[in-house]
Amino acid sequence: MKYVLVTGGVVSGLGKGVTASSIGVVLKACGLRVTSIKIDPYLNTDAGTMSPFEHGEVFVLDDGGEVDLDLGNYERFLDIKLTCDNNITTGKIYQVVPHITDAIQEWIEHVAVIPVDGKEGPADVCVIELGGTIGATVYSKNNGNGILDAGDIESMPFIEALGQFSYRVGPGNFCLVHVSLVPVLNVVGEQKTKPTQHSVRGLRGLGLTPNILACRSAKVLEENVKEKLSQFCHVPAANIITLNDVTNIWHIPLLLRDQKAHEAILKVLNLQRVAREPKLEEWMNRAKLCDALHDPVRIAMVGKYTGLSDSYLSVLKALLHASVACRKKLVVDWVPSTDLEENTAKEAPDAYNAAWNLLKGADGILVPGGFGDRGVQGKILAAKYARENNVPYLGICLGMQIAVIDFARSVMNLWDANSTEFDPDTRTPCVVFMPEGSKTHMGGTMRLGSRRTYFHVTDCKSVKLYGNVSYVDERHRHRYEVNPDMVAEFESAGLAFVGKDETGKRMEIIELPAHPYFVGVQFHPEFKSRPGQPSALFSGLIAASCGQLDALLQNPSHLNKPIKAKISSNGVFSPKVYQNGHQKGHTHKPANNLVNGNYYSNDWFHLRSPLRREV
């Protein structure tokens, strides 16, 4: 087994996760089998009970593991299925002491040989990402002198263990890639190497020597800067890679390939004779296609964590995968669900009007999963607006449950209908607590992981989008479900439960047959979406939002076909453009105010939020 360790220095948020994933993509393109491990040095055993505002989304694996969102990046980039053991935390390790550094090394060796790509036998290379920051420089307020900080204190046992591990597996089996920052000060306009020098010095002082430097910078590193880093960090200039700003993150593996990063890694790991030149044609075509898309599709994301996009990272990625497959430029309108409520109309009318303007201007509406009663009424209003105005709607987990509540109230005239999560004493509990759940223990007590959903209606949008299969396996994370005692009443009123669990008593998928696209699911389809294999239900939402649903229902498999480059005569990638920017029959007005959007250079979508007050 060969190991590639990815560490980060100077500051957090440099993109270690994307770098680790991209290294895996390039090595996989060289014909090697790759697995991944993420080390999170926090005391929690998993990410399940951590606040989305502090830690981003909780990513759910097939085995029910609630893990760091970086494992979602690994799965999406490498198209693999990881287990909860691929996420090591201090909380897990400290349950196994006596000798913590030995326990860490044994855990890594055990997990590294577990196949994650559907094939038998261990992978060739295990890419390990160490969370936290090593070797930051803290500047004194008194004299401005730099004081070298060894890094996050909670990372120390893992750093020591990895130092021992590199010696234990020996030369030729361990490669360390250190991601660092080379900033440019506006005053002088010069790329500064000192932060990276300090970071590498701290890393070496802790017993780890980098083989490759991956330097984050706004622009490509100048040659004299590379030479300086090589001299003072003791890394060959050929092993210093620039990770400059790109238009979308699918360019990162291409950056690594173009700078021969794979050759440097393969040389350190003695794999030159085993691996081939990386084949990344389809990956390159998809990255170019993302840059070339201009025809927008506008999706309103209605949630309670809209202040931090990482809280819904997998949902965003699934929307992107589907948008690219439909040849549309994704525009996400962030709508805080509390701003749609009547209380906001009285307290902050500007925020209320801005939120409703965004909702009404969207081509489609998505209500993602969540917990707690804050903003629930706003989500119910969003589902009601989509239902009454024939706007394409996708509700995920809680988004399905609030759609059921709205249907009970507005269509069935059950005005006191509610979920027992929000009103334990409601007289019409249309959403109830699952009997196998726990109301006292919050961590790991939900219905988690991959579960099978059987289709009970063959002529519905969902089954057609999934390719007319009899069942699907999707990942779950919930404590509440649609009240099975009310299902017959709902169905007689026109709500179709087209997908159910193996018992037939747990509702998994709802549809409104007469609506252009109104779908709710108890599971989380975003967790299994891939760049080359977009989620069926997200594809349906995007297609319905831009007038392509009928064509997609007739041939859903075309979204999974490899993307082939089409270059126009002027050398620019040219996507297919429809008349007036949309296919014929598109009833929603096209978005025309992208100038108000914020464009993020490390992603390829626009994010807009209405005027908000602090909550």
315's CB contacts (< 8 A; 6+ apart) are 57, 301, 366, 368, 396, 526
Calculated CA dihedral for residues 232, 238, 241, 244, nearest 10 degrees? 100
Residue 545: closest CA among 598, 582, 597, 599: 582
Q: How far apart are CA 469 and CA 473, in angstroms?
A: 11
120's CB contacts (< 8 A; 6+ apart) are none
CA–CA–CA angle 501, 506, 510 (5° rounding): 90
Q: Which sign, positive or negative, has the C-alpha torsion 20, 26, 27, 31? A: positive
CA atoms in the 13 A half-sphere facing the CB of 424: 2
Q: Both ends of the chain: CA-CA distance in Å? A: 50
Q: How far apart are CA 468 and CA 397, in angstroms?
A: 23
Q: How far apart are CA 592 and CA 525, in angstroms?
A: 30
Residue 467: closest CA among 364, 560, 529, 532: 560
254's CB contacts (< 8 A; 6+ apart) are 280, 283, 284, 287
Q: What is the phi/psi pair of residue 257, to 5°?
A: -65, -45
Alpha helices in 183-312 (DSSP H): 194-205, 223-233, 252-258, 261-268, 281-292
441's CB contacts (< 8 A; 6+ apart) are none
Q: How far apart are CA 300 and CA 314, in angstroms?
A: 16
Residue type for position 507: M
Q: Which residues of 514-542 are buried (b: 16+ CB within 10 A; e: fewer)?
A: ebbbbbbbbbbbbbbbbbbebbbbbbbbb
What's 584-615 look like in SS3? CCCCCCCCCCHHHCEECCCCCCEEECCCCCCC
From the CB of residue 5, how many other CB atoms can be counted at a distance below 10 Å? 24
DSSP 361: T
Which positions are catalytic?
397, 524, 526
DSSP string, 14-26: S-HHHHHHHHHHH
DSSP string, 482-550: E-GGGHHHHHHTT-EEEEE-TTS-SEEEEE-TTSSSEEEESS-GGGG-BTTB--HHHHHHHHHHTT-HH
Could you tell me whether strands 606-608 and 598-599 are parallel, antiparallel, or unpaired per DSSP bridges? antiparallel
Q: How far apart are CA 83 and CA 46, in angstroms?
A: 12
Helix 313-325 vs helix 281-292: crossing angle, to nearest 10: 90
Beta bridge partners of 35: 126
In which residue are the tokens 């170019």 written? Answer: 288
